[in-house]
Structures are given as C-alpha cells and as structure tokens.
Amino acid sequence: MKGFAMLSIGNTGWIEKERPACGYLDAIVKPLAVAPCSSDVHTVWEGALGDRHDMILGHEAVGEVVEVGSLVKDFKPGDKVIVPAITPDWGSLESQGGFAMHSGGMLAGWKFSNFKDGVFAEFFHVNEADANLALMPAGMDVAEACMLADMVPTGFHGVELADIKFGDDVCIIGIGPVGLMGVAGAALRGASNLYAVGSRPTCIEAAKAYGATEIVNYRKGGIVEQIMDLTKGKGVDKVVIAGGTSEKTFGQALAILKPGGRIGNVNYLGSGENVLIPRLDWGCGMGHKIIAGGLMPGGRLRMEKLTSLVTSGRLDLSRLLTHKFNGFDHMEESLLLMKDKPKDLIKPVVII
C-alpha cells in the first residue's frame, strides 16, 4: 500500500509498505478523511521525536473499517468510524489508574505517527478496536468528524485541566485550531469572560464566534498588561495554554492568574530545556496556582461523548475547516499549509 511518510528529518514523500496485519483485538481502517497537525510539522521539520525513517505520518482520521480481529465484537467491515489520535492499551496499569493516554509509558498512548505508522496511508491499523473506535453518526460530515480525532479533545482537555467553573474569567493563550476548541470548550463549560490571545484575523473571527468576549492581540502590547487592564487589575481565574513557548508563556499565565487558579496546558512544548516558572508570580511556591498539562484522553468513550456534543447541536466544527482538499494527492500540500500557516488558515482537511 501507499503512504505519505517522513523519510528522515526534514524530508517527506510517498512510500510503499505492506498493509498492516490485524491482531485479534484490532481493526484495519481505510481513511475517508485525514488532517495534518502541527505535531506532524514538529516531527518532520524539527525532529521533535528524533530521527524516524519511512514512518507514515498523520494521526487525525475518520475512516471505514475493512477488517477486524476475531475478538472484536462491536465493529465490522463497512462501519464508518472516528479514530482518536490517542489509542490506549486499556488494560495497562496507567489506564487502570486513570491515565490511559500514558499507557505503557509517558505519552505512549499516542501511537500513530509516533511509535507506529500513521493514518496518511491507504490503510492503517487500530489497536483494541472495540475500545478505541467510535461509530461516526450517520449524516455527519467527514471533514468535521475528523476534527474530533485531536483538535476537539485536545482543546477541551485544556479546559478540563484548568478546571473551569461557572462564572470563571478565563484566558486562552493561542487561537489556532486547538486554542479555538479551548475557547469553545471554556464557553461550553460555563466560563464568563473569555480573553483569547491571538493575532490572525481569521482566527480572531472564529474565536469570537466560539465564545471569546475579548481578543488580546499580542502584537498590540504585552499580554499581561492588556489582561490586567481589561480585568481592572484582578486577573483571571484560569488559563488555558494552547500556544507560546516554554520560556515565556507560563510566566505570562502566572502573572495574570489569581491565587487558587489553575493553568491547563495542552501546548506540546517542542523546544527549550526548561519551562520557566517565575518564582514571585508563583507566590514563592505558595500561591496555589496549580500547573497542569496533559495529552488528550483518547479511546471510544471520549470520542462518543465529544461526538454527541456535535450531534446535539452544542458544537459547530465547520468554522475550523478553512481548507478542504479532495484526494490523497493533496496530502503534501495540506501538510505544508500547517508548516507555513498562511493568514487565512485554521485547519486543512483531505477528503479521500
């Protein structure tokens, strides 16, 4: 079969591989729609995962089941499914402890385009199919459904990590597709004033549509100053981090955070030796400003729950999709869009 792969750091291209074998608990899926992710960009051009050779890229997909293992009960060939980016081993100790995304080791629930071939191929392999696939509701747009694989669960998990409560004032740093889902999730979780930090007009417009009450453009002044100003010196109750850097962003978040607040980070920190936590703004370690960060929870239940937010009309995913392509041939083009981030981009998707 054909797959679009990372050949080595900095190089991508089409390769031929054997179609993956299907274990007793597993499924083989043929993609219907896939989307490239910033982490594919980090993987290829920054070597974030180290050197990889001929690894098929991609971890955002919806598809059609073509084969299932003999122990699979709930899925059969022909089923149209949403495939989460994170597909845990559900019996692992980490999963039993509530952290399935780290099954087998920190971050090891993330398999596609990390430990094994990803979804940018004619076929891909899903472990523990009953536990890791979710039926795509009839009538759901495949491109929108594809956003449920990673963008929605990652953005929404930032909101969970920040533990947003009714009436909280919240700052979301970063309004790419994950940050926008952080905005939508915060609004859906009962936040009041939502300060969204970003600069690109397309993203700003979407942020407002998803529930941001104020936009803080970092090109127009310091984030901290602007937010302290907007909040009359009070700061915010919670911060969701979906962009920025190891060195600077957490310090900004702490400077605007009230004591007793929480930071929920879902930005994959790709560089910097240390994340810097300014001692004084952190209350000399005594300020009850909790710093949490984590990979999105994957698996079937999570997919079903988030999907139901779309089918029940709570969440409109169409706004994320600025670029739609048809056919495998556009895989590289779509990936390069994520790399180059043109002004009008939020998220591209390739329909197959």
> Which residues are CB-neighbours of 112 under 8 A, at least 6 positions away?
58, 59, 85, 87, 118, 119, 124
Considering only residues 281 through 340, tell me which ones interact with a copy of itself, judged by CB under 8 A: 282-295, 299-302, 304-309, 311-314
Interface with a copy of itself (CB under 8 A), residue from 8, 213, 217, 322 = 213
Interface with a copy of itself (CB under 8 A), residue from 269, 322, 336, 345 = 269
How many whole angstroms separate alpha carbon 161 and alpha carbon 307?
Answer: 20
Q: Quick one: DSSP state of residue 185?
A: H
How many whole angstroms separate alpha carbon 172 and alpha carbon 191?
Answer: 11
Cβ density class 203-214: b for 16+ within 10 Å, e for less: bbebbbebbbbb
279 is a contact residue toward a copy of itself (CB under 8 A): yes
Instruction: Report the nearest approach of a copy of itself to the CB of residue 276 (Å).
Output: 4
Instruction: Report the nearest approach of a copy of itself to the CB of residue 328 (Å).
Output: 30
Taking the chain, what is the end-to-end CA distance rounded to the nearest angstrom?
Answer: 15
Token readout for 274 is 């240390």
CB atoms within 10 A of CB 245: 16
Residue 271, SS3?
A: coil
Using the minimum distance from each CB to a copy of itself, give the nearer residue, 1 or 277: 277
| CB-facing half-sphere around the CA of 284: CA atoms within 13 A | 0
Write each residue from 100 to 139 as x if it is in contact with a copy of itself (CB under 8 A), else as -, in one continuous string.
Answer: xxx--xxx--------------------x-xx--------
8 is a contact residue toward a copy of itself (CB under 8 A): no
Residue 320, SS3?
A: helix
15 strand-pairing partners: 3
Interface with a copy of itself (CB under 8 A), residue from 9, 66, 228, 277 = 277
How many whole angstroms separate alpha carbon 8 and alpha carbon 24?
Answer: 32
Using the minimum distance from each CB to a copy of itself, give the nearer residue, 242 or 337: 242
278 is a contact residue toward a copy of itself (CB under 8 A): yes
Stretch that binds a copy of itself, among 26-34, 139-147, 271-279, 331-339 (CB under 8 A): 271-279
Stretch that binds a copy of itself, among 51-59, 84-92, 137-145, 333-341 (CB under 8 A): 84-92
How many whole angstroms separate alpha carbon 125 and alpha carbon 106?
Answer: 21
51 is a contact residue toward a copy of itself (CB under 8 A): no
Using the minimum distance from each CB to a copy of itself, give the nearer residue, 106 or 344: 106
Nearest by Cα to 132 from 108, 149, 152: 149
Interface with a copy of itself (CB under 8 A), residue from 53, 272, 316, 341 = 272
The answer to whether residues 294 and 161 touch, using CB atoms and an 8 Å cutoff, is: yes
Using the minimum distance from each CB to a copy of itself, give the nearer residue, 77 or 272: 272
Pairing label, strands 236-241, 257-265? parallel
Using the minimum distance from each CB to a copy of itself, give the nearer residue, 56 or 159: 159
Instruction: Report the nearest approach of a copy of itself to the CB of residue 315 (Å).
Output: 9
Place of tokens 């039993």: 96
Using the minimum distance from each CB to a copy of itself, give the nearer residue, 133 or 346: 133
68 is a contact residue toward a copy of itself (CB under 8 A): no
Using the minimum distance from each CB to a copy of itself, give the nearer residue, 108 or 351: 108
